[in-house]
Amino acid sequence: MKRDPRFRIAVLPGDGIGPEIVASCLQVLDALHERVGGGIGFDFRHLEGGAAHYQKTGTAFSDESMAQCKKADAVLFGAIGLPHVRYPDGTEISTQFDLRFEMDLYAGLRPIRSYPGLPCVLADKRAAQIDLVLIREQTEGLLYSRGRGTIEDDRVAWETMMISRSGSSRVSEFAFRVAERRAKSRRRPGKVTCVDKANVLSSMAFFRRIFSEVAATHPTVKAEFAYVDATAMNLIKHPWEFDVLLTENAFGGILSDLSAGVVGSLGLAPSADIGDRHAVFQPAHGSAPHLAGQGKANPVAQILSAALMLDWLADQHGEPRLAHGARILEHAVEKALTVICPMEFGGHDGTAAITKAIIGQVRRS
């Protein structure tokens, strides 16, 4: 158990709606601290970075800020990127990728669930049962080629996928541990689906083979296999049948947004980028600059990302009060979404109203 009950959190609000939803999240965490007290205290260190920072300074994220992130107990991240601000090669500013590679955050965790208080996107009543976790390997795959791609004579562009035994093994192990934990809490067998394109790509066949080796060491969890194109279809036809999905970096980025779509909004989708020593917590959505400053942004994904942060800190430091705080946040969000409706669902509740409703539920818990 951590002797110092206060945890050092590096806070990177970023661009667009990032500062607004991060401010909302910090208000909710302050209310949680008042509600729970000891064991959930934070020292927030605010850092600058992102597209607007790059536009002003020529640097998206300084070495000093990166060092601060590494020293922190966790990183709470808003959103990065502005469509009109790009590197010379035409790619957008994406500080989150820098953090993933620099801090070896190999497991991208994307929980997706439906909320009974909100309108369902899918007509089937079983859509109310959607509760899955998508895990993407984040240091390899096709996106490993970021910054390494080449263009030959303005004729051909080359990007290279990289899949390693060590990278595939550790993220597979992570996925099975997640499934085991979910099985215990939900009191039903766990399942991990390996999502790949092993019928075409030898790298994906290699990924599948390593997954199978790890699966053999977790006999209580069912292992199954699916191709990414078929999985995209089945996430729309019957997403309630999935438990934990494990896939490559680029596939995971696409499927995580698709999965958020079947429950109605990326505004409900938290995420965690996790390594053996460090972790970053941020909403799965982007910076939505067209909504910035209007008070319309939905802070739920940011707040649920903070709940993931509490769970991770609880595991890292043996502090069960943090896990209790995470359950309070999750319950508060669920209850709040029965009395308010974010704008992307056709409601009239913006950032301030959603924040107020969640804080009220935290205080009642």
Measured distance between the N- and C-terminal CA atoms of the chain, rounded to whole angstroms = 25
Q: What is the CATH number of domain 120-263?
A: 3.40.718.10
pTM of the model: 0.94
Instruction: Report the run of H or E that residue 145 belongs to, with start and end.
Output: none
Residue-wise pLDDT tens digits, 251-287: 999 999 999 999 999 999 999 999 999 999 999 999 9
Q: How confident is the model at residue 188 (pLDDT cuts 50, 70, 90)?
A: confident
Domain boundaries along the sequence of the chain: 1-105+266-365, 120-263
Residue-wise pLDDT tens digits, 61-71: 999 999 999 99
Residue-wise pLDDT tens digits, 340-351: 999 999 999 999
Give the pLDDT score at 47.
Answer: 96
Give the pLDDT score at 5.
Answer: 65
Listed in sequence order, the DSSP H helices in the chain are: 18-36, 51-57, 63-71, 95-102, 165-186, 202-215, 228-237, 249-262, 300-317, 320-336, 351-364
Q: Is the model's pLDDT at 4 over the cut of 60?
A: no
| Assigned fold of 1-105+266-365 | Isopropylmalate Dehydrogenase (3.40.718)
> Which residue in the block uniquely carries the two structure tokens 């600059």?
289
Take residue 219 and report the two structure tokens written for it.
């006999």
Q: How confident is the model at residue 37 (pLDDT cuts 50, 70, 90)?
A: confident
Topology match between the domains 1-105+266-365 and 120-263: yes
Closest CA relative to residue 135, chosen from 273, 326, 260? 273
